[in-house]
Amino acid sequence: MAAKSSKWAPFPHDAKAYAYAGDALKKAWPALHAGDQEPYPDEKRAKALIAAAGKAAKGIAPAELAQRLQEAWRAFHRGDFQTPFEAGEALGPLGASVAVKAMGIHATYLVDDEAERLRRFEQAATLAEAAVKALPGEANSHYRHAFALGRYSQGLSIAKALKQGIAGKVRAALDATLEREPKHAEAHTALALYHAEIIDKIGAMIGGLTYGAKAGEAESHIKTALKLTPDSPIAHVEYANVLLLLHGDKKEDAAAASFEKAGKLKPRDAMEALDAAHANAQIE
């Protein structure tokens, strides 16, 4: 695929602290995945995934799947995003969670060309869609689909995204995520942005009537995300964004304080380092 052959921009920060070799990955896992509630891919988990995926599992053994997923996630956390994307994509729906997250985070922060970024989000959404079909019981099948579609729609004009019905698909995928995993902080964050972005673009009245977008819901979901992941830079970044979308200049100081907080948090992996750097760039 084109994304494989094109050169992926490298992670621009020091990644030494994010290696998580051997048992370190399992030990750090609860903190690393507090936001997305991804289960640790040990052999038991691999067995359950294979059973759930049926034919889509392509006859892979649980021990091999566990090892390949652990290696892919190690690469993700240290910022070698192309490796987990390719490893995850090769595993089909079983590897879609790591593949979509790797491609999505890389495209968000490290792809400058807008057309290329859109193309990658579209490709990520296609991978996630296959995972939804093969593994509908997995919260992250639905969340990765919402994430990729949401990022794709942010690259289009809001009118185009609404016309294509993307907003409804994102909302349905996020609702499906939270039905399966109510403590999914990243899904709460995304749902907060769903409400806030629609209100910002088309107004509270039309947004409420047509898409069920409510300012109170946006604030409630982002506060839940902050409660679940107080040490996650992205929760504070998006809290600032929700404030600006809903209140504009009136909440500029509170938003700046939230960006500042995000920038000061100690990143636990490459993704959080990129989130924190992005936060700092907002207040420079």
pTM of the model: 0.95
For 111-139, write each residue's pLDDT tens digit: 999 999 999 999 999 999 999 999 999 99
> For 36, what's the count of Cα atoms within 13 Å in the CB-facing half-sphere?
22
Model confidence at 269: pLDDT above 90:
yes
CATH architecture for residues 183-284: Alpha Horseshoe (1.25)
Strand blocks (E) in 117-259: none
Model confidence at 5: pLDDT above 70:
no
Q: Which residues contact 176 (CB under 8 A, 6 or more apart)?
A: 139, 142
The pLDDT-based confidence of 206 (bands split at 50, 70, 90) is confident
Q: CA–CA separation, 71 vs 228, rounded Å?
A: 27
Q: Where are the domains of the chain?
A: 183-284
Number of Cβ within 10 Å of residue 89's Cβ equals 22
Model confidence at 209: pLDDT above 70:
yes
Number of Cβ within 10 Å of residue 144's Cβ equals 31
The pLDDT-based confidence of 212 (bands split at 50, 70, 90) is confident
The whole-number average pLDDT for the span 85-112 is 98
Q: What is the pLDDT of residue 266?
A: 97
Q: CA–CA separation, 21 vs 16, rounded Å?
A: 11
Contact 254, 263 (CB under 8 A): no
Model confidence at 37: pLDDT above 50:
yes
Please return the burial class of 249, using the count of CB atoms within 10 Å of its CB with bins 0-12, 13-18 and 19+. exposed
Please return the burial class of 79, using the count of CB atoms within 10 Å of its CB with bins 0-12, 13-18 and 19+. buried
| ∠ Cα 109 113 115 (to 5°) | 115
Q: What is the pLDDT of residue 268?
A: 98
The gap from C-alpha 281 to its chain's centroid, in whole angstroms, comes to 20
- DSSP secondary structure code for residue 7 in this structure: P
